[in-house]
Amino acid sequence: MLEIIRLGASNLTIYGTSMNKLSSRNHVILMMTVEQRAYIGEDGQPTREQVAGGERQHVKRGLLTIVDLAGSERVCKSGSEGQRREEGKTMSHSLSALGNCVDSLIDSSRTHVPFRDSKLTRLLTDSLGGYSITCLC
């Protein structure tokens, strides 16, 4: 798993702006499927044959999602131009869409949560809604 994290870190794009010398230009999302398997025999205890053969296997699955969001920058203050300016706009748009989703989830009078407004919120749909526990730090 550490090798996957290293690979992702090597693809991270960082450029300096007038607001931040080491500005991350992307959001980082690590999604891991975690499985727990229990083998249960007739007496309630697994035998070696059952474990090897996979008999009466009970599986619990969960999705662990770790997200590092790029910061939002005001274009006029960051001094970004060209491609960097477009990256900043995209980051701000996705953060705004995430805020809209959180607002919709909090407000019980709203019937629609705009998960489809950005790639970020689409990827985080399972983490934000349904049977999930979410922690924002």
Which of 2-6, 20-24, 58-62, 106-110 is least confident?
A: 20-24
pLDDT of residue 76: 60
**Nearest Cα to 86, choosing from 78, 10, 67?**
78
HEC secondary structure over the chain: CHHHHHHHHHCCCEECCCCCCCEECCCEEEEEEEEEEEECCCCCCCCHHHHHHCCCEEEEEEEEEEEECCCCCCHHHHCCCCHHHHHHHHHHHHHHHHHHHHHHHHCCCCCCCCHHHCHHHHHCHHHHCCCCCCCCC
Cβ atoms of residues 61 and 34 within 8 Å? yes
Neighbours of 23 (CB within 10 A): 21
pLDDT of residue 56: 59
Tens of pLDDT, residues 27-71: 888 898 998 877 666 676 666 666 666 555 678 899 999 888 877
Q: Who's near 55: CB < 8 A, 6+ residues apart? A: 39, 41, 49
pLDDT of residue 54: 58
Tens of pLDDT, residues 82-125: 776 777 777 888 989 999 999 999 898 989 999 999 999 999 99
